[in-house]
Amino acid sequence: MKELANTTRDIARELARKYSTMTHDELDILESILVPMKYAKGEMILKEGEVCQHIYYIDRGLIRQFYFKNGKELTEHLGTDHSIFMCIESLFREEPTRLQVEALEPTMIYALPKLRLEEVALHHGNIQILYRKILEESLIISQVHADLVRFETAQDRYLKLCKLMPQVVLRAPLVYIANYLQMTPETLSRVRAATLGQ
Amino acid sequence: MKELANTTRDIARELARKYSTMTHDELDILESILVPMKYAKGEMILKEGEVCQHIYYIDRGLIRQFYFKNGKELTEHLGTDHSIFMCIESLFREEPTRLQVEALEPTMIYALPKLRLEEVALHHGNIQILYRKILEESLIISQVHADLVRFETAQDRYLKLCKLMPQVVLRAPLVYIANYLQMTPETLSRVRAATLGQ
DNA sequence: CGTTAGTTTGAGAGGACTCAAAGTCTGTGG
DNA sequence: CCACAGACTTTGAGTCCTCTCAAACTAACG
């Protein structure tokens, strides 16, 4: 248990450093609301119909968020070490998700419960700022992803993703990368074959 | 001037109602930081290279956000009455925008200066909540738009936009709607011709 | 070491693009 | 109030990228 507690503090520090600054008290509070969660490869982190109540921070691992559209599974997001994800509509509207989340590797997550985070944000300026920065960063990421797929050929989308998220490209199965880039697995396979030199 | 002040209060109430609740004091503060701005058709609201310092609330009018990519103008967003927009990367990173904003109709805007908003959010819980809800809503909207263009034919994208933003479809020039939906103007024109019955 | 999931390769079809030209609308000035 | 210039939209023809369907191949896991 000692070791777990230490790690939780590490993550609190990591979050503080990335998104804000913290007094010792605030760091204690942040640490106290973090929830460590461990998932095996293939395990579901959030299933359709559940309500998302956390902002998730991936310590180590790989996840995909996906949903069904016209009977097909679409990949909304791929996330890896040291990044944030959440099921936006479910989290903020407190409704059941359409977005499901699956661990593609053994994955260690530290979750911030939204309700607790909002409580402490009211009285602790730096945590308020942390929460806001997390939302801001998510907005920027969604904008960058939108740009990634806008008016680009399949090949260019892939090459840009390689630069933007090299870890994801190396570690995620081709099907999900293809899906995330809005192309079929066949097309991505051909793009890769054509790209080998570059 | 009397009339302008009244209108500013109206907008403060509108924002309070949409995004949070407010004490009288908080409503006064919110009103005091709102900046009314008026633009003629075709006028630029934000030019490339300027730093976005406000969250904009459209009282009446129509705007488009666009940027250049591979020498072409791409429409990132179309916004109309009673909606929020901002140049996300510029606003949060305090960098010059790549995103420009143009008024497509005579447009009345009330702007929230980010710096002032952050100041008052630190000490006024309801304004903090308002700010957060605005960010949350923006995230949801960007997700909905991402879904709109994912694995859909040109025709389906258009039909869905008609349901989602009918005012925009009625009032914006075809070129920008086409661009926003990730198709050429020619394609949208053909889609419309094929859709007349429906 | 077999079974199944995941990836590659092939052939053919189709949606959306490009380039080009004609047609229509809008607003300004005579 | 009409005429004209410029902007916007429509229509056409041909091409190409990506999709679909199908089958072979490879890798991963028990």
Q: Is the dihedral of CA B149, B153, B156, B158 positive or negative?
A: positive
- Chain B, nearest residue to A151 by Cα: B182
- Kindly report which listed range (A88-92, A192-196, B64-68) carries the lowest average pLDDT score: A192-196
Compute φ and ψ for A157, nearest 5 degrees. Answer: -60, -45
For residues B5, B8, B12, B18, the Cα torsion angle rounded to the nearest 10 degrees is 150
Sheet holding B83-85, edge to edge: B35-39, B107-113, B54-60, B83-85
Q: Is the dihedral of CA B96, A162, B76, B114 positive or negative?
A: negative
Give residue A195's pLDDT band: very low, low, confident or very high (50, 70, 90): confident
CA angle in degrees (0–180, nearest 5) for A149-B193-B174: 50
Q: Looking at residue A70, what is its pLDDT?
A: 87
Condensed to tens digits (0 to 9), the pLDDT of residues A114-137 reads 999 999 999 999 999 999 999 999
In this complex, do A121 and B128 lie within 8 Å of one another by their Cβ atoms? yes
A89 CB neighbour count, 10 Å cutoff: 19
Per the listing, tokens 């990368």 go with A177
The protein footprint on chain C, as nucleotides within 7 A of a CB, is 6-11, 15-20
Condensed to tens digits (0 to 9), the pLDDT of residues A134-172 reads 999 999 999 999 999 999 999 999 999 999 999 999 999
Please name the residue ranges forming H helices in chain A: 2-19, 24-33, 88-93, 114-123, 125-149, 154-164, 166-171, 174-180, 185-195
Report the share of chain A in percent with pLDDT over 70: 96
Condensed to tens digits (0 to 9), the pLDDT of residues A78-112 reads 999 999 999 999 999 999 999 999 999 999 999 99
User: Does the model's pTM come out above 0.75?
Assistant: yes
Examine the pLDDT at B4 and tell me if it is beyond 60: no
Q: Are residues B163 and B148 in contact, defined by beta-carbon separation less than 8 angstroms? A: no
> Would the Cβ of A183 be found within 7 angstroms of any atom in strand D?
yes
Can you read off the two tokens belonging to residue B27?
């409503």
**pLDDT, mean of residues A189-193:** 96
From residue B66, how far is each of B16, B46, B100, B174 by CA, in Å? Answer: 29, 10, 5, 15
**Does B72 reach chain A within 8 Å, measured CB to CB?**
yes
Residues 110-139/A with CB < 7 A to strand D: none
Report the share of chain B in percent with pLDDT over 70: 96
> Would the Cβ of B193 be found within 7 angstroms of any atom in strand D?
yes
